[in-house]
Amino acid sequence: MKKISFKASIVFVFIFLNLCFLLPIKAEVLTIIHTGDIHGNIAPEKIASDSSQAPHIQGGYALLKSFIDNTRIESIKNGGLTICLDSGDYFLGTSVVDETSGECMIDLMDQCKYFSAGIGNHEFDYSSDRLKELLRKSRFITLCCNVFDKETGKIFEPLRQYIILPFKGIKIGITAVETPETIISTFENNVKDIEVKDPVSCMKKTIKLMREKGCDFVILLSHLGIKEDPILCVDQPAPDLILGGHSHSTTKTIEYFGKMQIPVIHSGSNLLTASKVTIDLTKGKKPVIAQELVSLTDEELKEDPLVKESVKQYLKNVKDKMGKIIGYSNVTLTRGIIGGDSCAGSYIADSMREAVNADFAFINAGAIRVPLKAGQITLEDVFIVLPFNNPIITIEMTGYEIRDIIEKSISVKFRLPSENDIFLCKNMGLEPKGLLREYHDTYGALIPSNLIFEFDPDLPSGKRIIKLTDEKGRSIDDQKSYKVAHSSFITEGGEGYSILKNKKPAVNSGIILREALAKKIEREKIIKDFPQQRIFNKKLSVRRIN
């Protein structure tokens, strides 16, 4: 007799539960607990509270598990069903997920009994082979309809193109799409075996197939980001609901895109919040969708003891080493506004240049994951800022070539700030006025060390630099050769910089970016103030508001 796989048995379990829930039937309500962009944040963090009270905590899988269990019990009482879904990027971001090469995330998602998840670009950061190994062990079903195996031409195994969930005579289809940026957002070797095809065409083909199989309601797990999600809503076939990720966005109320007004929900990042999405699928009526954004705090929830113990054990292996205090900062260094200056980027680029005694250095803005906060700085803090295992590579570049890559960095789309941009900027204590650089574009944003440049985004592409000097005001000689430090990710063609891929000679220093940053902090002991401004955008002014 053929053995039924665990994942296949999940569907049968849900069918059985549906039969069990026939009495009492108050409504055909499917409840979804949605998360995304967790990035290895398995544990809670302390949050501010009234000085007369004990400090509260927010986030982490132990509180999420409690919230999921409470919601499931509530659903059962009302004859409904609760499932947990994620839109990808659960890997990368903390030392514990790096220590286990992603395994702790799969285990904790299993303990929380996720039903299904999409994949994000960072799921490939430990290689496609490692991802394949981990997903084969997982109990949840991993979906994606636009990532293919180059050799076979089929959906990358063990991903599923879609799944159909029966619920009280209603068929619910679930599928997922991955961002095409995946190919340039990780090391080329990590994605050498896969092809990421156009998400819109793959989604439409998949939804058509699901509709033909009788799906009444289709859910799409999107890892394109909230600015790209509207392209999924242009015309039929289209999903009935999009649960998104990638842009670390938070929708406190449902947003609607396209002529069909398709509902789109993003649930935040780092597992600080989750969305409770209810879908009333009562037959004969139009589905009614509601969202509640829930802060995962111990004010309302109690940590699940078993998951809490698992988290504790995972953290135990890295705590002593990563908890070492290496310095102090008087200021919070943020990535800043893309298209303008970056205090964190400047400090990190300086650490790279100093570590290898280079003339100049560049760090790509995408490498800087979170701010380096004011106060005591530990090795864990540095890791969270720079979680990628990229060594510093030095290459010889002429002044002309340096000018050229800066032009590429700024010869992209610029636009006025959106509401989401303004929200993020205020969180960084910044208030922008003018034109911001599009974050995801042909080339990634570069932040320099020992270089100052002024540019005008209204000038033609490739001719936007008005002034380029070193920090002493000396002009850069187009014919002269300089020693320039980069992240290995950039020298291998990441962020669109394929022109650097075969640049010779290229010297691998063996120094990981965060090691250079940690050594600079240890050496200086205190970050006294913000670095001097390096990037001057003629059409952007930025005011510090705190």
- Do 300 and 332 have their domain in common? no
- Do 278 and 413 have their domain in common? no
Q: pLDDT value at position 185?
A: 79
Phi and psi at 334, nearest 5°, equal -105, 165
Asked if residue 12 is part of any domain, the answer here is no
Q: Which of 6-15, 321-330, 447-456 is modeled with the greatest confidence?
A: 447-456
- Do 310 and 330 have their domain in common? no
Range of the domain at 433: 323-544
Least confident of 6-10, 229-233, 450-454: 6-10
Report the Cα 4 to chain-centroid distance in Å. 34
**C-alpha span between 64 and 72 (Å, rounded):** 12
Asked if residue 38 is part of any domain, the answer here is yes
Residue 374: pLDDT band with limits 50, 70, 90? very high
Q: Are 143 and 171 in contact (CB under 8 A)?
A: no
- Do 278 and 384 have their domain in common? no
This prediction's pTM? 0.77
Q: Are 95 and 156 in contact (CB under 8 A)?
A: no
- Do 249 and 170 have their domain in common? yes
Residue 9: pLDDT band with limits 50, 70, 90? low
- Do 304 and 334 have their domain in common? no
Domain end position, chosen among 315, 342, 361: 315
Question: Mind listing the pLDDT tens digit for each residue in 514-531?
Answer: 999 999 999 999 999 999
Helix axes 61-77, 103-111, angle to 10 degrees: 30
- Do 141 and 209 have their domain in common? yes
Asked if residue 18 is part of any domain, the answer here is no
Number of domains into which the chain is organized = 2
Bond prior to 166 in cis (omega within 30° of 0):
no
**C-alpha span between 103 and 124 (Å, rounded):** 13
Q: pLDDT value at position 27?
A: 67
- Do 372 and 349 have their domain in common? yes
Asked if residue 185 is part of any domain, the answer here is yes
Domain end position, chosen among 315, 333, 368: 315
DSSP H or E segment with residue 71: helix 61-77
Amino acid making up residue 117: A
- Do 245 and 123 have their domain in common? yes
Q: How far is CA 281 from CA 15, 164, 260, 529, in A?
A: 16, 15, 18, 56
Q: Are 244 and 222 in contact (CB under 8 A)?
A: yes
Domain end position, chosen among 292, 315, 338: 315
**C-alpha span between 382 and 369 (Å, rounded):** 10
Q: What CATH number should be reported for the domain holding residue 237?
A: 3.60.21.10
Return the structure tokens found at 267.
């649930």
- Do 303 and 412 have their domain in common? no
- Do 287 and 359 have their domain in common? no
Bond prior to 239 in cis (omega within 30° of 0):
no
Task: Check pLDDT > 70 for residue 296.
Answer: yes
The residue among 453, 276, 295, 296 whose CA lies nearest residue 360 is 453
Asked if residue 3 is part of any domain, the answer here is no
Task: Check pLDDT > 70 for residue 73.
Answer: yes
- Do 298 and 394 have their domain in common? no
Q: pLDDT value at position 321?
A: 81
Return the structure tokens found at 443.
């080339």
Asked if residue 17 is part of any domain, the answer here is no
DSSP conformation letters of 83-148: EEEE-S--SSSSHHHHHTTTHHHHHHHHHTT--EE---GGGGTT-HHHHHHHHHH-SSEEB-SSEE
Tell me the pairing of strands 116-117 and 141-142.
parallel
Least confident of 81-90, 104-113, 278-287: 278-287
Asked if residue 7 is part of any domain, the answer here is no
Asked if residue 9 is part of any domain, the answer here is no
Task: Check pLDDT > 70 for residue 351.
Answer: yes
Least confident of 92-106, 228-242, 412-426: 412-426
Task: Check pLDDT > 70 for residue 118.
Answer: yes
What percent of the chain has a predicted confidence (pLDDT) above 90? 76
Phi and psi at 117, nearest 5°, equal -150, 150
Q: What CATH number should be reported for the domain holding residue 415?
A: 3.90.780.10
